[in-house]
Structure 1
Amino acid sequence: MISNTSPLILLSKLGKLAILKDLFNNITISKEVQEEVITPNRADAQTIQEAINQNWIKVKESKTKKDLGLGKGENSVILLAHEKKDTLIIDDAAGVKMARSLGIPILRTTSVFFLALKKNLINKEQTIKLLNKLIEEGYYIAPKHYTRLLDKLREK
């Protein structure tokens, strides 16, 4: 499992970074993503750095050097996921589109919550609270998608 920057920062801010470890055992990020997430004096950066130090977030470099017309982080993790034939956790719309065009399976931060719910790591109420906190942190979910997510929760 490979992750882009924003899912790591958001999960860390919500106090749920470890959910990635619980779901996937380890996560791979690129050097570029590491540089983006490790900003001094931010609590979420410290949590991510601890996960790197504990070696469940691993930093790898892509052998492929190609400009996909995206930010450095998105560019590098898409190339890494393509190279490793692995799933990518990414929220950036342009990044999602590019990854899909290359046949890379993707998850979004919201998908992580639903996987955690399915594995009984969190319950429905916690999932709703996490979705709302995600929005409070600036994550954009179109109203129709938010309604679909809530409907999906009611089905479970």
Structure 2
Amino acid sequence: MNLNKQAVSNSSPLILLAKIGKLDYLFNLFENIFIPLEVYKETVVRGIHDGFQDAVIIDEAIKIKLIIVKETKKMYKEDELKQFLHEGEIKAISLAKELSSNTILLDDEEARIYARNIGLKVKGTIGIVIDNVLSKKITKKEGKESLKKLNRIMFLSGEIYEYALERITKIE
């Protein structure tokens, strides 16, 4: 699996991967990670204010330009999207459209469905772990350990957790 050129991320993949000490999984897969200013405020500004260590990790990645904060020039269908998505998700979708990014990183189901419907390739935190195993950036054992850690800190249905474990197990 070749390194993808770029992705735009919403807050949750950054926060979750930073919480388990695996933010580097993003950099294994993408040359450039962009986030809108709103996602920076959610992940770093509020996170540091509230004393979250993951916010410091994300901020360090921004300081060394592994993650690039970029403001959107215009909002994509803002009035329509405000009814069912959070501002960070709307701005991430807008930035992905603006940059013609081939991938957007989202975990929220409604945001994922909407992004797919407008032609964006969607990847979530679990998919990022699986892709790291597929691309041989990490071992199956590391992938399973990361999945277990994520299962402790995020809502994963038993069905999704088992599916992800099975996907990792079957990788050659």
Scaled to the shorter chain, the TM-score interval is over 0.9
Q: Percent identity?
A: 35
CA distance in 1, matches of 2:93, 2:54: 23
The one-letter code of the counterpart of 1:141 is L
- Does the 8 Å contact 1:82/1:102 carry over to 2? no
Could you tell me which residue of structure 2 aligns to residue 90 of structure 1? Answer: 106
Give the superposed CA RMSD: 1.2
> How far off is 1:125 after superposition?
1.2
> Does 1:27 find its partner at 2:17?
no
TM-score by length of 1: 0.93
Question: 3-state DSSP class of the match of 1:37?
Answer: helix
Q: Deviations over 1:68-112 (max 9, x none)?
A: 121110010011112222110100111111111211110010111
The 5-angstrom pairing of residues 102-113 of structure 1 reads 102-113=118-129
Runs of 4+ in 1 over 6 A off after TM superposition: none
CA distance in 2, matches of 1:19, 1:146: 19
> Does 1:10 find its partner at 2:16?
yes
The one-letter code of the counterpart of 2:56 is Q
Structure 1 unaligned blocks of 5 or more: none
CA distance in 1, matches of 2:60, 2:134: 27
- Does the 8 Å contact 2:130/2:164 carry over to 1? no
> How far off is 1:153 after superposition?
2.0
> Does 1:79 find its partner at 2:94?
yes
Equivalent of 2:72, from 57, 62, 67? Answer: 62
Question: 3-state DSSP class of the match of 1:82?
Answer: helix
The one-letter code of the counterpart of 1:99 is A
> Does 1:136 find its partner at 2:152?
yes
